[in-house]
Structures are given as C-alpha cells and as structure tokens.
C-alpha cells in the first residue's frame, strides 16, 4: 500500500502521526472486507489451536515493527480463528452480531480515547450515557426513576443490581454495609431458580453469597421458577430477602412468572431482581411484550446490549429502581475526581470501574439507527425466524423440538422414537456433522438429562434464506446419521461407534 508523505515507515516508537494513520487505514480495509464477506464466511473457526498458536506465537518482541504491518499480521493471524458470531448463520450461543453502526461508533470511541469515568474527564461520553439511560428505560418500559449503570455485560450488571439490593436491605436492617462491611452483618437469604444462569451465581459469589447459602427453587419443564415452590420456601424464611427471577432462559427462552414472584417477594418485604440478559428486550417488542408481563414490578434488572441490541462487546446495562441504593453501592470518590452537579450524571457512581471506555457512544448510535420501531421489528423477526426453523426441523421424521418456541430459542433432539441413550448418541453425532458441514453453527448442551442441540436466533444479519439454508443443512446431517445407523450395525455396536 502507498505510504503517507509524513510516514516514517518505521515502528510504533515513531513520533510521526503517519504510522498511526497507516494502522487505522489497514484496520479500515480489513473491516470493510470482513463486512462484505459476512454472509459467506465460515460459521466457525477453520484454524485449530496449534495453527493459531503458531500464527500468534514467537519470542517476546524486542524491537518495534511498522504499525501497518502489525495490524496486517494481526488480521492474518486472527481471521482463521474467528467464530462466525457476527455472521448470518451462527446460532451457537445467545450472542449478538456486533452491528456495523455500533462498531463504527466504537471505533471512534477508541480513537477518541476518552476515559469515561466522570463528566469532567469525558463530558461527551457522560452526556451520551445520560441520554441513552433515559432512552433505554423508555424503550424497555422500566420505571423512569431508575438509576442506570453501563457495564461489561449481564454478569456485571447482575453484580451491580445485587450489590444495590444487598446494601439497601442491610440498611433497612440497621446495618451500614458501605461503612461496616459484610462480616457480622445480618444474613440475607437469596432465593433463586434452579435454572438461573451460571453467571448470576458468579456475581453472587463476588458479593459474598456462596453457592451453598442460596435457596434454590425448583423449576418446571421449560426452566421457569415454580411460584408454589417459592411460596413454600418463603414461609420458613425470615430476615432480609432477595429473590432472583429470570427473563429468558438460555435454553428454552422461557420467562419466570415474574408477576406472581413479585407479589410473593414484596409481601415479605424482599427485593426482586430480574436477570433479563436477552429476555428483557421482549418488552421492547409489542408482539412479545406479554411474555415479560409484570417485569416492571421488580426492583432491579440486568440486561445485555451486546446480545439482542447487537452492540459491540462489552456492553451491559444495570437498572435499579432505588437510585440512591445503586449509587451508594458503586460510587467512587476522590479529591481529584471533581463531582459533577446541576443535573449532570457522573458514570462512576453507577458501575464498578473507574477508568473505562465510553459505552454510551455505541449505544447512542445503535438506538438512533434502529429507533424504537427498528428494535421491535428485529426482535419480532428473530422470534418468527426461530419458529420457522422449528417448523422446518419438526417436519422431518426423527427430529424433535423440546421447547415451546415463543421467543428466539430452540432446543432440538435427534432420534425421536429411539431409546434415550441412542437419542443422545445420535444427537451428538448429528451436531458434529452439522458443524463439519460448515453452513451454520449450532452447539450441544445437556438439558433435562438429554443431549440436545441449542439454536439461538439473535443475530441482526440472519434472514429467512439463512434459516432455510441452515435447516436444510441440519436435516441433511440428520439424514446422513440416520442412514449410517440403519446400515446393519447391530444395536450393541451402535453406541460404541458413537463415543
């Protein structure tokens, strides 16, 4: 490529801006070609661990290198090891597709290099967050008095909300946790569904709630907390109480019956927190909003923007009705961090980090680009596409959809009609074939004692053609597996061949 007149062409030690320009231009070219190939890219990495280690490895660099060459070799090393999460036929986990508008805003965020901790350090970043906070409360139809924190994801959003809950409940019990800490505090009982996301347990751990201290509430066949079981558990529970409900189960997409759970929790003076990493967005979609009925009765909510809103990583949101509790739990103060006043919101009061990127810019750009209606339309489209995929698969003999597809999630098993062990083996083999075919990506999991394939339709570029093409590939893989097994292998040998 041509060099800039001012480009020394040397190393990153160069004081000349030309080298930086070459780096940015190289990244720009790679980004454009990656974007153009989004639909045709393989849905999973093509390089294995050893190949990647070789591509990235080598001795510790002693001397610098040309910035453009570094970026060039980064792309060459990384691209074979990329998963197709930003593509159209990736259904592997509940992950968003990093929409280009958010990515473009995120580039500028990095170039601008703002430290978004406080208003004085990053005025535009702070104001973008302040505006986006209100837009999000409006779009998700949450109480307007909520404080909002922008985090790295739902794990940390759950952490923020539960820290606020812990502080508020203990304050009511006469204990000042911010001053006196956790040791010796009155115990808080945490009730949580058996199907809570593993990351919620992690965030509870960071707050001093060990796994054995939690009261686990049984769930139904879709993974929803059983209100009768919660009622029974609460009957014998005294003192400060947190109940954690889930909106959007990572396998089935199911919602806990939050309306009933809110009544039970608040009757006991408890704090209801909702993990709605992706399910909370159903509230932004009139056609699906009834799934999330009563969710606004909770006291705090965690969600992700890097899932259904398609924001680039890392972006989550924490909403807390008791803004004072939120702020007390998270605030960071120092003499050299001037306090904003006059209605100005300082980000450092609402999230765990001090120095951090200005997450408000990408969110602002995405919300402007989609609009309320665009978000609703995308969510509805994904739910309809999930149903389309379910119908296509269910029409094929031997394929069973194990969940009621009311959101964007499918739980699939292959080998319907076979013995349980055989179904598991056939499912594992079919998933491997689907992945090897390279048309789409879906992964396996264990669900209710069964091996299953999970499908999440949650990526902005996914179209009906992508769904049909992927369903065809899944069905072809299943037919090949079935044919192989129909071919005279004695029953006893079949399983052995699989594992």
Ligand X SMILES: *Cc1c(COP(=O)(O)O)cnc(C)c1O
Per-residue tokens: 386: 């999930």
Distance between CA atoms of residues 349 and 330, nearest Å: 5
Closest approach, Cβ 311 to ligand X, in A, equals 11
Stretch that binds ligand X, among 171-179, 184-192, 273-281, 486-494 (CB under 6 A): 273-281
State how far Cα 301 lies from the chain centre. Answer: 14
Binding test (CB under 6 A) with ligand X, winner from 7, 296, 304, 406: 304
Closest approach, Cβ 145 to ligand X, in A, equals 25
Nearer to ligand X by Cβ, of 153 and 312: the residue is 153
Stretch that binds ligand X, among 147-155, 211-219, 366-374, 406-414 (CB under 6 A): 147-155
Nearer to ligand X by Cβ, of 245 and 329: the residue is 245
Residue 97 is a binding residue for ligand X (CB under 6 A) = no
473-477 long-range contacts, CB within 8 A, separation 24+: 473/434, 473/437, 473/439, 473/440, 474/393, 474/399, 474/412, 474/430, 474/434, 474/440, 474/442, 475/392, 475/393, 475/396, 475/399, 476/437, 477/430, 477/433, 477/434, 477/437
Nearer to ligand X by Cβ, of 92 and 316: the residue is 316
Nearer to ligand X by Cβ, of 122 and 458: the residue is 458
DSSP class of 445: E
Stretch that binds ligand X, among 271-279, 332-340, 423-431, 460-468 (CB under 6 A): 271-279
Stretch that binds ligand X, among 259-267, 275-283, 285-293, 354-362 (CB under 6 A): 275-283
User: What is the x/- site pattern for ligand X, positions 230-269, by CB under 6 A?
Assistant: ------------------x-x-------------------
* Parallel, antiparallel or unpaired: strands 443-447 and 450-456: antiparallel
Binding test (CB under 6 A) with ligand X, winner from 275, 299, 429, 451: 275
Taking residue 368's Cβ as centre, other Cβ atoms within 10 Å add up to: 13
Are 366 and 100 in contact by the 8 Å Cβ rule? The answer is: no
Ranked by CB distance to ligand X, the top (closest) residue is 153
Per-residue tokens: 422: 């055989």
Closest approach, Cβ 83 to ligand X, in A, equals 15
C-alpha dist (Å) from residue 457 to 55, 88, 406: 32, 9, 12
Closest approach, Cβ 387 to ligand X, in A, equals 20
Nearer to ligand X by Cβ, of 85 and 155: the residue is 155
Distance between CA atoms of residues 401 and 392, nearest Å: 10
Query: Which residue in this structure is represented by tokens 């924490």?
Result: 318
Closest approach, Cβ 484 to ligand X, in A, equals 35
Closest approach, Cβ 248 to ligand X, in A, equals 6
Closest approach, Cβ 442 to ligand X, in A, equals 16
Are 80 and 41 in contact by the 8 Å Cβ rule? The answer is: no
Show the CA angle centred on residue 230, arms to residues 225 and 319, nearest 5°. 65
Measuring CA to CA, which residue among 303, 285, 272, 342 is closest to residue 130?
A: 342
Nearer to ligand X by Cβ, of 240 and 312: the residue is 312
Burial class (CB in 10 A: 0-12, 13-18, 19+), 461: middle
Per-residue tokens: 98: 């990093």
User: What is the x/- site pattern for ligand X, positions 196-235, by CB under 6 A?
Assistant: -x-x------------------------------------
Closest approach, Cβ 472 to ligand X, in A, equals 28
Are 297 and 261 in contact by the 8 Å Cβ rule? The answer is: no
Residue 7 is a binding residue for ligand X (CB under 6 A) = no
Closest approach, Cβ 456 to ligand X, in A, equals 9
Binding test (CB under 6 A) with ligand X, winner from 97, 125, 153, 257: 153
Binding test (CB under 6 A) with ligand X, winner from 67, 70, 88, 94: 94
Distance between CA atoms of residues 353 and 331, nearest Å: 10
List binders of ligand X among 448-487 (CB under 6 A).
none
Closest approach, Cβ 31 to ligand X, in A, equals 23
Per-residue tokens: 434: 């689907």
Beta bridge partners of 451: 446
Distance between CA atoms of residues 240 and 259, nearest Å: 20
Closest approach, Cβ 152 to ligand X, in A, equals 7
List binders of ligand X among 172-201 (CB under 6 A).
197, 199
Q: By CB under 6 A, how many residues form the interface with ligand X?
A: 13
Q: Which positions touch ligand X (CB under 6 A)? A: 94, 153-155, 197, 199, 248, 250, 275, 277-278, 304, 316
């Amino acid at each position: 490529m041509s060099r800039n007149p001012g480009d020394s062409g040397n190393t990153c030690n160069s004081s000349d801006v030309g080298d930086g320009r070459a780096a940015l231009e190289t990244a720009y070219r790679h980004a454009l070609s990656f974007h153009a190939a989004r639909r045709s890219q393989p849905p999973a990495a093509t390089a294995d661990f050893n190949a990647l280690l070789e591509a990235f490895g080598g001795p510790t660099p002693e001397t610098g290198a040309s910035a453009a060459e570094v970026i060039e070799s980064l792309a060459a090393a990384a691209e074979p090891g990329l998963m197709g999460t930003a593509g159209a036929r990736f259904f592997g986990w509940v992950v968003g597709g990093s929409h280009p508008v958010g990515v473009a805003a995120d580039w500028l965020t990095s170039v601008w290099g703002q430290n978004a901790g406080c208003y004085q350090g990053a005025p535009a970043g702070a104001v973008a967050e302040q505006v986006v906070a209100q837009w999000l409360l409006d779009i998700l139809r949450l109480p307007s008095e909520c404080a909002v924190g922008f985090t790295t994801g739902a794990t940390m959003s759950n952490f923020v909300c539960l820290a606020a809950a812990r502080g508020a409940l203990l304050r009511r019990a006469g204990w000042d946790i911010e001053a006196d800490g956790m040791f010796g505090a009155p115990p808080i009982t945490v009730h949580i569904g058996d199907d809570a996301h593993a990351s919620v347990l992690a965030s509870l751990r960071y707050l001093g709630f060990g796994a054995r201290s939690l009261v686990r509430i049984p769930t139904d066949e879709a993974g929803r907390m059983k209100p009768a079981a919660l009622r029974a558990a609460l009957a014998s529970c005294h003192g400060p109480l947190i109940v954690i409900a889930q909106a959007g189960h990572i396998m089935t997409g199911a919602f806990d019956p939050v309306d009933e759970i809110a009544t039970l929790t608040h009757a006991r003076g408890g704090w209801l927190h909702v993990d709605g990493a992706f399910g909370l967005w159903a509230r932004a979609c009139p056609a699906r909003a009834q799934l999330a009925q009563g969710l606004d009765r909770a006291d705090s909510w965690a969600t992700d923007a890097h899932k259904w809103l398609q924001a680039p990583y890392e972006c989550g949101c924490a909403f807390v009705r008791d803004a004072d509790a939120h702020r007390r739990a998270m605030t960071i103060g120092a003499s050299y961090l001037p306090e904003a006043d006059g209605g100005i919101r300082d980000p450092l009061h609402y999230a765990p980090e001090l120095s951090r990127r200005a997450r408000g810019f990408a969110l602002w750009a995405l919300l402007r680009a989609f609009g309320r209606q665009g978000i609703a339309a995308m969510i509805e489209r994904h739910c309809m596409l999930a149903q389309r995929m379910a119908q296509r698969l269910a029409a094929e003999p031997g394929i069973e959809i194990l969940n009621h597809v009311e959101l964007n999630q499918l739980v699939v098993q292959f080998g319907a009609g076979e013995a349980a062990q055989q179904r598991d083996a056939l499912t594992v083999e079919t998933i491997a074939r689907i992945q090897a075919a390279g048309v789409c990506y879906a992964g396996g999991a264990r669900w209710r004692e069964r091996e299953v394939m999970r499908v999440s339709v949650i990526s902005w570029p996914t179209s009906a053609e992508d769904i049909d093409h992927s369903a065809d590939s899944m069905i072809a893989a299943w037919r090949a597996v079935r044919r192989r097994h129909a071919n005279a292998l004695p029953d006893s040998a079949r399983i052995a061949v699989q594992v």
